[in-house]
């Protein structure tokens, strides 16, 4: 029975971790910049994400945004630091690989629920899923830690003039996307560890489930 709980926990942790990975990728608050010139940035606060930078402005408003201006990063913005571009690519990889891990875990649990006692097949599904979970967690850990390092060292960004952003803030702090990413890493790593340790069990998940 304990092993069955572990199998279900693996899927639950992997699912939540994958969801949080997707959430962190879409949130613009990776870095919170505080600026002293409020002529354009009316609130004095700007949010720097991995896809765009946004701030409240009464002078410039982007279509579809109420009293908010957003500048989306493009491949032509060569001034954007490497950690932001790395976050874009690695989080997309993490989302795709994490989905593969969930698929492998679902297939393993499907065999368990259907009473299939082919332990080798089930073990392989769990091992593949565990590998994908761990790999996805590492893909998230790199950009999260890299951007957090940049925040703690108050590193500047040479934004293009079209973004109306200064190159350096008065101060900056980590946004909500970074702790969300950290939690995603922890959950995916735990899920991967549970999946990879499945083959160490003396009995299959099926046999424990019927016990």
**What does the pLDDT look like over 148-200, one tens digit per residue?**
999 999 998 988 888 889 989 999 999 999 999 999 999 999 999 988 887 54
Residue bearing the bigger pLDDT, 17 or 6: 17
Neighbour count for residue 48 (Cβ, 10 Å): 28
**What does the pLDDT look like over 33-91, one tens digit per residue?**
999 888 888 889 999 999 999 999 887 766 666 678 888 887 667 778 899 999 999 99
Q: Domain holding 69: CATH number?
A: 1.20.140.150
What range does the domain containing 62 cover?
2-210
CA distances from 72 to 43, 53, 57, 145, 163 (A): 20, 7, 16, 23, 8
Q: Which two tokens stand for residue 2?
A: 């304990």
Residues contacting 4, CB < 8 A, separation 6+: 112, 205, 208, 209
**What does the pLDDT look like over 112-144, one tens digit per residue?**
666 666 677 778 888 999 999 999 999 999 999
Whole-model pTM?
0.85
Q: Which two tokens stand for residue 125?
A: 């599904």
Neighbour count for residue 92 (Cβ, 10 Å): 13
**What local confidence, expressed as pLDDT, does residue 195 receive?**
87
**What local confidence, expressed as pLDDT, does residue 64 receive?**
62
Q: At what angle do helices 82-113 and 2-26 cross, to 10 degrees?
A: 150
**What local confidence, expressed as pLDDT, does residue 98 receive?**
95
**What local confidence, expressed as pLDDT, does residue 62 receive?**
66
Task: Write out the chain in H/E/C secondary structure.
Answer: CHHHHHHHHHHHHHHHHHHHHHHHHHCCCCEEEECCCCCCCCCCEEEECCCEEEEECCCCCCCCCCCEEEEECCCCCCCCCHHHHHHHHHHHHHHHHHHHHHHHHHHHHHHHHCCCCCHHHHHHHHHHHHHHHHHHHHHHHHHHHHHHHHHHCCCCCCCCHHHCCCCCCCEEEECCHHHHHHHHHHHHHHHHHHHHCHHHCCCCHHHHHHC
**What local confidence, expressed as pLDDT, does residue 1 receive?**
43
Q: Which two tokens stand for residue 119?
A: 């332990």
**What local confidence, expressed as pLDDT, does residue 208 receive?**
45
**What local confidence, expressed as pLDDT, does residue 200 receive?**
44
What's the number of domains the chain is made of?
1
Phi-psi region of 209 (alpha: psi -120 to 50; beta: other; left: phi over 0): alpha
């Amino acid at each position: 029975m304990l092993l069955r709980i572990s199998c279900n926990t693996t899927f639950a942790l992997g699912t939540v971790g994958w969801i949080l990975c997707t959430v962190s990728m879409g949130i613009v608050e990776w870095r919170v910049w505080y600026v002293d010139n409020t002529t354009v940035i009316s609130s004095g606060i700007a949010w720097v994400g991995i896809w765009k930078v946004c701030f409240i402005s009464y002078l410039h408003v982007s279509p579809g945004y109420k009293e908010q201006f957003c500048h989306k990063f493009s491949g032509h913005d060569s001034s954007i630091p490497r950690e932001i571009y790395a976050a874009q690519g690695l989080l997309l990889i993490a989302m795709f690989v994490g989905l593969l891990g969930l698929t492998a875990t679902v297939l393993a649990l499907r065999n368990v629920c259907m009473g299939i006692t082919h332990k080798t097949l089930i073990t392989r599904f769990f091992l593949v899923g565990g590998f994908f979970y761990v790999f996805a967690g590492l893909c998230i850990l790199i950009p999260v830690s890299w951007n957090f390092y940049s925040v703690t060292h108050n590193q500047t960004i040479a934004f293009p003039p079209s973004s109306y952003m200064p190159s350096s803030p008065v101060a900056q702090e980590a946004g909500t996307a970074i702790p969300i990413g950290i939690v995603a890493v922890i959950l995916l790593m735990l899920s991967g560890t549970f999946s990879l340790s499945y083959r160490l069990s003396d009995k299959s998940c099926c046999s424990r489930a019927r016990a």
